Structure 1
Amino acid sequence: MTSRGRAPPGEQGRRGAEMVRAALSPLWLLLLLLPWAPPGQAAPEADEIQCLPGLAKQPAFRQYSGYLRGSGSKHLHYWFVESQKDPKSSPVVLWLNGGPGCSSLDGFLTEHGPFLVQPDGATLEYNPYSWNLIANVLYLESPAGVGFSYSDDKSYATNDTEVAQSNFEALKDFFCLFPEYKDNELFLTGESYAGIYIPTLAVLVMQDPSMNLQGLAVGNGLSSYEQNDNSLVYFAYYHGLLGNRLWSSLQTHCCSQNKCNFYDNTDPECVTNLQEVSRIVSNSGLNIYNLYAPCAGGVPGHLRYEKDAVTLSFCLCPQALLRSGERVRMDPPCTNTTAASTYLNNPYVRKALHIPEQLPHWDMCNLLVNIQYRRLYQSMQTQYLKLLTTQKYRILLYNGDVDMACNFMGDEWFVDSLNQKMEVQRRPWLVDYGESGEQIAGFVKEFSHIAFLTIKGAGHMVPTDKPQAALTMFSRFLNKQPY
């Protein structure tokens, strides 16, 4: 007889096996299901935004906010929104704003994110022209020190090469956290000083076969200091800003044999004339980001500036021409960042975005990062030629045509200088505006694997000024359709 309550040895073995099978069966079931799990299942649950303040209704798509590992001890804040169309098949699009030192959440909250911050700094409204209608969009605050991004060693002095490497490390970390997207098409996009960030990053990404890089797009970007500086003076004159006396003096002292050098001319009279151009373009009360838009807050008086300081203007591309000024702005000129700043510094918003409590106040642009930043490149020609030589990637440079910070002529000259095979001569491109029918949205010319496109009536922040045209352009770019 067996002792009371104990099963015989055979029965014990059978029951033990059943218990093991019962314990393992959920695990085996999970392992079997993992390859077919829908997008988002492998995403970091701790980073998912459960309830975002300011929305009347939470979105149907998933969104995440957290940190990606950059180089060294850098932690780069990201905000990732899944596509409203089909996350599994939609491309992954990285977005970077410029500066250097300005936050990509500007692009999220005021340009092409799924919701736009309202003037009260508390409310978000859904954006009918959001880029995540057709793509999974990753907004990355870079470099460390910008926005909610930080470094453990609190060292924020950096340069173009270090930023490219750190962004590359962060992108690799993103695909570790979101492995379900590693095979999706990848596009790198940005604006302004991202004209440096994006091609330098792309050269690194193109060497990593684990990433499915398909192309890059840069809006109103810095591609060449020389071409931006030289073209800006022409832009200013032919838009009626300079007057004939100043223009005649510029021609006399800055030009020779029908060729003008407004970039690094050392002639004393030329330098004096360029200082006057700089004053008119950047310090007279004109909106450098959109010539035909008002200057937020009105024409600034001398109390709005710090005098006799290091020359700095956030996001201004013509640095060489405009370095002759003497004033410093903490925020981009003629812009109002109050709403975004108020929203992102709301403690409930910061908690929803998983921002560490000890991090300082969020600002649109970080003055310290900008001042300490070392600009290593005068032109992106080498980087673009490396990308074009592969004949693998679709490249778009687009410009709002009333921006003076990074004007359209400078980028058009830059694309021309790459000497690629012309495929489509410069022509209008159209957008269907419904009741008003098709309208000319700008002009485009296409070369082998690269195109240059303008958006009529838009300034530096194209999706803010012309959201429908921007989304149409973006869709055609991603889908490899004629513009």
Structure 2
Amino acid sequence: MRWCLLLLCVRSCFGSYSPDEVLNLPGLSTRLNFRQWSGYLQASPGKHLHYWFVTSQRNPVKDPVVLWLNGGPGCSSLDGFLSENGPLHVNDDGSTLYINKYSWNKVANVLYLESPAGVGFSYSDDQNYATNDDEGFAVGNGLSSLYYNDQSLVYFGYYHGLFGDTLWNRLNRYCCKSGSCNFFNNTNINCRETLEEVFMIIYNSGLNMYSLYMDCAGGVQKTNMRFLKDLQNLFQFYQFEVVEDSNDSSNLVPPCINGTAQNAWLNRADVRKALHIPQFVPTWDICSDVVGEKYERVYATMRDFYVKLLSKGLRVLVYNGDTDMACNFLGDNWFVHSLNQKKTQDYQPWIYNKQVAGFYEQYGNLTFLTVKGAGHMVPQWAPAQALKMFESFLSNSAY
């Protein structure tokens, strides 16, 4: 499952380190109006995290510094750079780059960090990749609560036409009582068996789970290793089993996503040299199987973290593309409600280019916002709307 966390510094902490500055990039023929650096930060002894930092195209000294992290767990933030909100994207030929006119560094300095060690070009000296779980922060299509994600997924699937009335009626009969449903940890054996049908429909659907109404890149596919990792985040209480295809165990690209171009470009020898990647570092993959395998989930909910950060006066944006099934908008909306913050702005549409771009509501410093028609990777599939949302959040202005 891929999600993105955005942290904003209070003031721009602009600086530079000459050996890491990127002076040219293979496949780029355009002169850039910003500076960039790529190299390594030592997170702890023996842990080397690869970063790619780009300055703001507007005012790098005064504009804020933004840290962008892709989630997974175990997926690279360079995918965010090269296909979502970075200033440079890779053409389909896997050899040339083009300028992203909706890049978030139009209004901010952005630091893309590949974390933890073992992801992308980041590495550990001892190759031990076990891991676990400012002015404001934003979370895009995040998994903030296992409970609300499971509870909402059943409703999301039914009202998007994935389940028929027969299955829906059985869910209500076996999993609900006195108007309240428990799809998260129900001990009723009939409920468990019915939820397993729900799980298998999602598993076998062939739909693009990251953007329900987009075609699946490459056509309907059999499931791959990354898809199985994502499914492990769903209905964990029941421990539903699926058969793993050993012939497909090396496919770490999320299902229905085409990462061929980024993979080809980043693994070129001249690109690695330009980004200051040592020769001994393994080839780049969009997601790390090793990190995913060794990741241990510590927290079933992020509620306490949100409440603590909100109590410090930080501004928070929770945004969702509303067609994402991996981390659906309804679950995040319910999670925001559970924080028990005082509502200051009722649910209403926000506008981009004279069209409804989604909906939002506010609870003081906390905003919940949807992006209409976008999936899991909002900046990739709704780039103009995402930039507008980002600018409004940075400036604390109306959406």
- TM-score past 0.5 threshold: yes
Residue segments in structure 2 that go unaligned for 5+ positions in a row? 1-12, 245-250
- In the alignment, residue 371 of structure 1 is paired with which amino acid? E
Measure the CA separation in 1 of the matches of 2:39 and 2:349: 42
Q: Please give the residue correspondences for 1:87-126 in structure 2 after superposition, counting only pairs within 5 Å.
A: 87-126=60-99
Measure the CA separation in 1 of the matches of 2:336 and 2:95: 41
* Distance apart, 1:262 and its partner CA: 1.3
Is the 8 Å Cα contact of residues 53 and 110 (structure 2) preserved in structure 1?
A: yes
Measure the CA separation in 2 of the matches of 1:388 and 1:236: 32
1:320 matched residue in structure 2 = 236
1:153 matched residue in structure 2 = 126
Moved over 6 A (4+): none
**SS at 1:369 equivalent:** helix
Is the 8 Å Cα contact of residues 311 and 324 (structure 1) preserved in structure 2?
A: no
1:269 matched residue in structure 2 = 190
Measure the CA separation in 2 of the matches of 1:146 and 1:274: 33
1:461 matched residue in structure 2 = 377
Measure the CA separation in 2 of the matches of 1:330 and 1:357: 22
**SS at 1:313 equivalent:** helix
Residue segments in structure 1 that go unaligned for 5+ positions in a row? 1-38, 161-212, 433-437
Is the 8 Å Cα contact of residues 275 and 325 (structure 1) preserved in structure 2?
A: no
Measure the CA separation in 1 of the matches of 2:260 and 2:235: 26
* Distance apart, 1:305 and its partner CA: 4.3
Measure the CA separation in 2 of the matches of 1:108 and 1:139: 7
Q: Deviations over 1:182-236 (max 9, x none)?
A: xxxxxxxxxxxxxxxxxxxxxxxxxxxxxxx110001000110000011010000
* Distance apart, 1:327 and its partner CA: 4.7
Using the size of structure 1 for normalisation, the TM-score is: 0.76
Pairing 1:355–2:277 present? yes
* 1:430 pairs with one of 345, 351, 360: 351
Measure the CA separation in 2 of the matches of 1:264 and 1:243: 23
User: CA, structure 1 residues 222+88, in 2 after alignment: closer, same or farther (shift >3 Å)?
Assistant: same
1:247 matched residue in structure 2 = 168
Is the 8 Å Cα contact of residues 40 and 48 (structure 2) preserved in structure 1?
A: yes
* Distance apart, 1:258 and its partner CA: 1.3
Q: Please give the residue correspondences for 1:19-58 in structure 2 after superposition, counting only pairs within 5 Å.
A: 42-58=15-31
* Distance apart, 1:323 and its partner CA: 5.3
How high is the sequence identity, in percent, across the aligned residues?
A: 55
1:412 matched residue in structure 2 = 333
Query: Which is bigger in relative contact order (C-alpha 8 A, separation at least 6)?
Result: 2
Pairing 1:331–2:253 present? yes
**SS at 2:309 equivalent:** helix
Pairing 1:384–2:329 present? no
**SS at 2:131 equivalent:** coil
Measure the CA separation in 2 of the matches of 1:384 and 1:285: 35
* Distance apart, 1:58 and its partner CA: 3.4
Q: Deviations over 1:393-441 (max 9, x none)?
A: 1100000000000000000000001111110000000012xxxxx1100
* Distance apart, 1:319 and its partner CA: 5.7
* 2:43 pairs with one of 70, 73, 93: 70
* 2:291 pairs with one of 333, 347, 369: 369
**SS at 2:44 equivalent:** coil
**SS at 2:229 equivalent:** coil
Q: What's the Cα RMSD here?
A: 1.9
* Distance apart, 1:278 and its partner CA: 1.6
* Distance apart, 1:454 and its partner CA: 0.3
Measure the CA separation in 2 of the matches of 1:128 and 1:479: 20
1:300 matched residue in structure 2 = 221
Q: Report which stretch shifted further, 119-128 or 468-477.
A: 119-128
Q: Deviations over 1:435-466 (max 9, x none)?
A: xxx11000000001101000000000001111
**SS at 1:70 equivalent:** strand
User: CA, structure 1 residues 269+284, in 2 after alignment: closer, same or farther (shift >3 Å)?
Assistant: same
Report how many residues are paired.
Answer: 382
* Distance apart, 1:44 and its partner CA: 0.7
Q: Please give the residue correspondences for 1:128-139 in structure 2 after superposition, counting only pairs within 5 Å.
A: 128-139=101-112
User: CA, structure 1 residues 155+216, in 2 after alignment: closer, same or farther (shift >3 Å)?
Assistant: same
Pairing 1:284–2:209 present? no
* Distance apart, 1:386 and its partner CA: 0.5
- In the alignment, residue 234 of structure 2 is paired with which amino acid? P
* Distance apart, 1:333 and its partner CA: 1.4
